[in-house]
Amino acid sequence: MKKETRKIFAAFLAVVLTLSLCPWALADYKAEMGTAPEGDYAGKTVILHSNDVHGEIMGYAYIAAMKTAFQEKGADVILADAGDFSQGDPNVSLTKGADAIDMMNAAGYDVATLGNHEFDFGYEQLRENLAKANFPVICADVFEGENTILPPTWTYEKDGLKIGFVGMETPETQTKVNPGLIQGIRFVSNINSGNALYTCAQEQIDALRNDGADIVIGLTHLGVDAESAPDGHRSVDLYHNTTGFDILLDGHSHTVMTEGEQGEPVQSTGTKFANIGVVVIDNASKKIESHYLIPTKVTETVEENGEEVEKVISELPKDEAVAAKAQEIIDRVNAEYGQVFAKSEILLNGERAPGNRTEETNLGDLITDAMVWKVLEVNRKDGKPAVLTMGDVSVDENHIVGITNGGGIRASIQPGDITRKDLNTVLPFGNTIAVVFVTGAELLEALEASTYATPEALGGYPQTFGIEFTLDTTKPYDQGDAYPESTYYKPASIQRVTISRINVEPFEPFDLNATYAVVTNDFCAAGGDTYYAFKNASAQFDTGIVMDEALMEYVETNLAGVISEEAYGEPRGDQTIILPADDGESEQGEQGGESGQGGQSGESGQAKKGCYVATSVYGSYDCPQVWTLRRFRDEVLGQTWYGRLFIRAYYAVSPTAVKLFGDCEWFREFFRDKLDTLVSNLQEDGFESSPYQDTDW
């Protein structure tokens, strides 16, 4: 960070500290941070835990070294993982999760549970992988026939202390994994069966307590996402509806937390070894005496050669043997997938929210363009327009559209060189391109179901090609019956989505009774996420074309190896989202060229109301001053763990300031003057005054 930026940073912290000027909203989860072990840990049992590692295999060297550090201080140490270790990066996905097991063996894990992504390569592959594990993997709520597919619990016992672990998998797995890969597997769910998930967990808690367990720990892959709340499938819901859990070590939502919003003892480390979770148990009292998170790295934004780069200023030690094993895998993958084949002039937005799970993105456009292009290329003959046929159903090129689920897009593409590994990181599941034949009514149902939670993030959110539609989030989702074997609900009527036209050029009016060919991925075609309408379609076929290979070919062939600002600098603008405005009125804006300035910025009315003081004094959320402050938040404050903690700590003060003084003209004048000065200084230090146009908010 430049000297002047440091001065402004310090001034900004002081202003926010005293006057509460944070113009953004953050989830209210407490996250206690600690440091490496100091002092004597004799007579203590320490649980070190991870979750949602997603292929960050070098992180195993951190947790292995941390285990040794606690042992050297006298502690007994248990290593635990709360799922999603098999997929997310080519370093593990290229071996379908097998290398993840090898790394966990090397690090010395004692117990783990399953995440939904453990099933991405199919149940048989999972069984093959787990057969190589030197540690028990437990799961109480996934059944094959009348029996759980894995032991539901594991007990640790030493020196009179008995700790029981209960493994719990998210019921959402049944729609977050290709249904064709998990046939015959049943996931316990509260949908259509009352409190089945809670009953399942309670039975295991009671069994452990009856067996003499002093402490019972939930090793859960449930998360705290809002989309899981209606059916009570979150970890905090599990805690409130059971008796006997001492703490839940959680995963799935990638949340950094040491307790829930209501103080629930739920701890989660985030993702990709950003932190290591610690639970300290006193063996004599047989009680948990503390729990916290330890960041693996502390970073700082600095200027080098005229560019701002992220620099690690402190880092946890690594176990040399585990690090060497990880590096061996990384080198092998880089040799195979690390060659540059193209370049991008722009940042392609692979974020969750605001991003591919909340709105149209430039990366979503690129991927769906590539999918449809490849299918058309294969089916065009003698220069004539393509016709897609399945049995008695034929669809011409003007009625071919594309949809892929936003949850399948897992990373951004940075400006600069692009490698095959980059594309495999964006699309790590190995999905193939499928074609589904649906009526206009079925297409509309799929869009309505897949945007039911918008503006909240949803994995099923549609990234599209050739469908121009409007989504009115001010209207309620008319929830019907649950889709079969799903945690999602069919729309009883179409309330929110209106399709205006189909195709790119020539545009076609949308027809409820017409037949459309939807180019999608095999996951959605099988009814994954919210796409049961596709599973139930009259006809479909799988092309066998792998998505990342189609994307690579499209960039090489159709874009001549360059993803340009002109072609993909902004989202195409096919989707219009009407959001609730702060004053209760509806507010409409298009996704695309004006996405940084109008009502549609990919954030809900609830999020906008979090721009408390800044919005109050400027009278608008979408103004240059607020956007400059938000950019400063992302580029400076948000880049370090202590900056993020600072934001979280002082965000809570802002609503109080507005409630007390928001109607007073002196308040607005005073703070507007202070903020104008601050923003002016930021702009002089290199921050633009125009709204920040990058799409990775």
Of the candidates 445, 454, 452, the one whose C-alpha atom is nearest the C-alpha of residue 531 is 445
Six-digit token string for 686: 């290199």
Query: What does CATH list as the number for 26-320?
Result: 3.60.21.10
Q: List the beta bridge partners of residue 268.
A: 257
In whole angstroms, give the CA distance from residue 633 to residue 655. Answer: 18
**158, two tokens:** 């030493």
Write the CB contacts of 587 (distance below 8 Å, at least 6 apart in sequence): 578, 579, 580, 581, 599, 605
The tokens for 569 are 């600098």
Q: Which residues pair with 463 in a beta bridge?
A: 404
Q: Is the peptide bond before 354 cis (omega within 30 degrees of 0)?
A: yes
Q: How far apart are CA 266 and CA 218, in angstroms?
A: 9
Q: Which residues, other chains included, contact 636 with Cβ-Cβ below 8 Å and sequence gap of 6+?
A: 1, 5, 9, 301, 643
SS3 state at 632: helix
- H or E, element range at 123: helix 123-130
Kindly report the backbone phi and psi dihedral angles of residue 627, in degrees, each rounded to the nearest multiple of 5, phi listed first: -70, -35
Sequence-separated (6 or more) residues with CB below 8 Å from residue 610 = 24, 25, 26, 651, 654
Q: Which residue has the tokens 């190589």?
A: 132
Topology of the domain comprising 340-467+502-568: 5'-nucleotidase;  domain 2 (3.90.780)
d(CA 366, CA 373): 10
Neighbours of 563 (CB within 10 A): 22
437, with CB counted inside 10 A (0-12, 13-18, 19+), is buried
Q: Is 396 helix (H, G, I), strand (E, B) or coil?
A: strand
State which amino acid sits at residue 69.
A
In which residue ranges of the chain is pLDDT below 70? 1-28, 178, 192, 581-665, 667-668, 682-697
Answer for the pair 319, 65: CB distance below 8 angstroms, yes or no.
yes
Which amino acid makes up residue 44?
A: K
Beta bridge partners of 551: none
Which sign, positive or negative, has the C-alpha torsion 675, 680, 684, 686?
positive
Across 336-424, the runs of DSSP E, i.e. the strands, are: 340-344, 387-390, 393-396, 400-405, 416-419
What is the Cα–Cα distance from 255 to 419, expressed in whole angstroms?
A: 29
pLDDT of residue 681: 72
Q: Is there a shared CATH topology between the 26-320 domain and the 340-467+502-568 domain? A: no
Instruction: Judge contact between 449 and 488, C-beta under 8 A.
Output: yes
Radius of gyration of the chain (CA): 26
Task: Please report, for the chain, the start and end positions of each structural domain, with discontinuous segments joined by +.
Answer: 1-25+610-697, 26-320, 340-467+502-568
* pLDDT the model gives residue 36: 80
| pLDDT digits 0-9 by tens, 328-346 | 999 998 888 888 999 999 9
Structure tokens at 196: 């089945």
